[in-house]
Amino acid sequence: EEPSNRKAADTLESSDSEKPLLIAHYLYIQMEYCEKSTLRDTINQGLYQDVSRLWRLFREILDGLSYIHEQVN
């Protein structure tokens, strides 16, 4: 290779190595659900028909998320 070509190749390599490394973080939340079934089963069994129960469970999930966020800070 001629020096000018080698310089271009080096520039390409260095720009690739300078790209920021993206790291994904995952948080799995496991909450206790004590109505003798899973949340998925409850949803599949028509949770949408019992609006007050739906909102109660939704609120409990939000309370759990709020608790987790408080622990991080």
Question: For 10-68, how does the pLDDT look when each residue is reduced to its tens digit (9 = 90+)?
Answer: 555 555 567 788 888 877 766 666 677 888 888 899 999 999 999 999 998 899 889 88
Name the DSSP letter for residue 21: P
Q: What angle do CA 33, 35, 38 make, to 5 degrees?
A: 55
Dihedral sign computed on CA atoms, order 44, 50, 51, 55: negative
Q: What is the pLDDT of residues 17-28, one digit of tens each?
A: 677 888 888 777
